[in-house]
Amino acid sequence: MNSLTQVAHISRRVIKFGGIGLIVFLFFWWGLTAAVKSYQAAHPPYVAPTVRFGTLGKIVFPEKIFEKKNFTAELANDRFPKYKDQANVYVIYRSKSALGALEEGKKTAALMGFINEPREVATGVYLFNDLSSGRSLSMNVLESSFKLSYPYLSDQMLLNPEQMPSREEAINAAKNYIQQAGKLSADLDAGEKKVTYWKINFDGLKPVDGLSEANLIRVDFFRKNLGDDVQVVSTEVEKASVSVLVSGSSVAAKRIVEVNYRHVDVDTSAASSSTYPIKTSEEAFADLKNGDYWPANDNALKEVVIRKIYLAYFEPVNLTQFLQPVYVFEGDNDFVAYVRAITDKYAK
């Protein structure tokens, strides 16, 4: 009996301390697993750029004559920003058929009230006229871009409108018009809408501070930021590639007096994009100092201090297949310049 009692006692102790040991082991295992996962998340394995599209064509900027400047950098914390050694390049979809592009362009024009046959004024560029309203529409069907115009500078009735729309009303009017034309893409709808106020002057439009001084309101539609909250920049600083001028007229045909639309369909899915090696911000700054840049907003200074550097994407102005990254340099007296970010090895 004593022997059986002793065995039972030992068995209970084994079960007790074995259970405690098992619990301790499980907690240790869970903690170790969590630590490994946390480390892997903080230190993911390096994946080399995929460069699926081969050598890319260089970004084509509009022609602009400028004088080389001397640049110095005074940045936050006296440090150049750090980015990964690679960035996404996205595919741009365009119509492969000029005839198909023209038919699509006619459909878009009809949705905006232009039902007459257009005339071709340049390769791929067609002019539509609406004689009843005095509006015209110039459309580049190959680039899917257009400009709608009404002679608002010579319309005296627009100088003193009965009631100007509010900020929200102007945004809604502009948004509805773009949507009516079938051109309100998801990235435009989700992007920032910027409102500025303008007054018709004897020599054109003059920016004013508020609604009380304005007789036109411009609504800029910025594309939604890409990837890791990277913005898309255009050729004009603070102006989007899609903008609408809204008047205070009660006449429907004079409500929207100008539309500038230059917007391409970009496939941002991981399956369609590819990664490419990019320069460091220091290397891009060296290009800037060497004069290899494009001034989005120039000034007369010979010496410019750069205060901010960041990575962005450039909204293309030419027929191209890809949306590519650039470094943006902002400096004194509103100076802004773009430098190509893709390394020279992968840019023609």
Question: Are the beta carbons of 138 and 146 closer than 8 angstroms?
Answer: yes
pLDDT tens figures, 38-95: 655 666 788 889 999 999 998 989 999 999 899 999 999 899 999 999 999 999 877 6
In the CATH hierarchy, which fold is given to the domain comprising 70-91+269-346? Lipocalin (2.40.128)
Q: With a cut of 90, say whether residue 222 has pLDDT above it.
A: yes
Calculate the dihedral angle through the C-alpha atoms of 8, 9, 12, 17, rounding to the nearest 10 degrees: -140
Q: What percent of the chain has pLDDT over 70?
A: 89
pLDDT band (50, 70, 90) for residue 166:
very high
pLDDT for position 190? 94
Asked if residue 329 lies in contact with residue 63, where contact means CB atoms within 8 angstroms, the answer is no
Residue 159: closest CA among 200, 121, 119: 200
Judge contact between 341 and 326, C-beta under 8 A.
yes
Q: Is 54 exposed, middle or buried (0-12, 13-18, 19+ CB in 10 A)?
A: exposed
325-331 and 336-340 strand pairing: antiparallel
Could you give the percent of the chain with pLDDT greater than 90? 68
pLDDT at 16 (0 to 100): 58
According to the model, what pLDDT value does residue 119 have? 95
Q: Are 252 and 312 in contact (CB under 8 A)?
A: no
For position 22, what pLDDT does the model report? 65
**Residues 169-219: pLDDT tens digits?**
999 999 999 999 999 999 999 999 999 999 998 888 999 999 999 999 999
Tens digit of each residue's pLDDT (9 = 90 or more) over 120-139: 999 999 999 998 899 999 99
